[in-house]
Amino acid sequence: MNYRKQFGVVPGRHIQLQDFDPKNADHDGGKKGAHYTLKKLKERMDEMQFQLYSEQKRSILVCLQALDAGGKDGVIRHVMGAMNPQGCRVVGFKEPSSEELAHDFLWRIEHQVPRRGEVVVFNRSHYEDVLIARVHDLVPESVWSKRYEQINDFERRLAENGTHILKFFLHISKDEQLERFKDRLDDPTRHWKISDADYSERKYWDDYEAAYDAVLSKCSTRHAPWFVIPSDRKWFRNLAIAQIIVETMEDLKIEVPKPTVDIEEIREKYHELHGPI
């Protein structure tokens, strides 16, 4: 199944989230088969991340966005956890600090973009400044409405300098969100994730959907595509994202650097000191 094509937002197309089914779980092998496929995808992801790190020419930026309980932490744990921490970094963007607010909205983002050879995962991202800022009127419309194009320009510059960008919106239903909030209440190990905003923000559901409609329609580009991932089924969410990442990395045709020493000479020296290899 080509999940890149199935869930990718075509640049320039106006979309509405209500047209996407968050319960979609389009996999022939079902849940059991998906676990096996995911295992193989994670092994391949680990292999290619090592190659990317060794190549030191390009980088990958993965942006995860979702409504509360959408599963960003789950993706980081069950998909991105396959990568070696030496070459993979996760950055979470919370409420801006006073220092960050004293700069333009992309200033704090600029400090966290990946260096060559690195994979960086944004848990929330620069898109909060056209999502929560819009829904809660944190800045005037005359300000946030200009940010879509500023974001596109920012991502275009990153792409032109070797950063490959993948943006995933984890699409859950309102009923599924409520069920996940209940699971948190029933599980003492997850009580720390509960906040007053979990329930108070639900009244803004339609406003957030409208804000995401604008983001997905205005900011999915060839060099920084958006994917709307059905996420009511966690196992399918993980599978689809892993497959998209692996296929994107394979398309990069990463080349492991050639050795900087004479391998045969090193082999001979080893043989002299320690015997046959």
Q: Please report the domains of the chain, with CATH numbers, ordered by start residue.
A: 3-274 (3.40.50.300)
Non-local CB neighbours of 74 within 8 Å, separated by 6+ positions: 234, 237, 238
> Which tens digits make up the pLDDT trace of 41-94?
999 999 999 999 999 999 999 999 999 999 999 999 999 999 999 999 999 999
The 3-state secondary structure of the chain, one letter per residue = CCHHHHHECCCCCCCCHHHCCCCCCCCCCHHHHHHHHHHHHHHHHHHHHHHHHHHCCCEEEEEEEECCCCCHHHHHHHCHHHCCCCCEEEEECCCCCHHHHCCCCCHHHHCCCCCCCCEEEEECCHHHHHCHHHHCCCCCHHHHCCHHHHHHHHHHHHHHCCEEEEEEEEECCHHHHHHHHHHHHHCHHHHHHCCCHHHHHHHHHHHHHHHHHHHHHHCCCCCCCEEEEECCCHHHHHHHHHHHHHHHHHHCCCCCCCCCCCHHHHHHHHHHHHCCC
pLDDT digits 0-9 by tens, 151-180? 999 999 999 999 999 999 999 999 999 999
Per-residue pLDDT reduced to its tens digit, 109-129: 999 999 999 999 999 999 999
Distances (CA, A) of 143 to 134, 138, 204, 213: 10, 10, 21, 18
Amino acid 258: pLDDT: 79
pLDDT class for 217, splitting at 50, 70, 90? Answer: very high
Could you tell me which of 85, 86, 90, 129 has the C-alpha nearest to residue 107? 129
At 40, is the pLDDT very low, low, confident or very high (cuts 50, 70, 90)?
very high
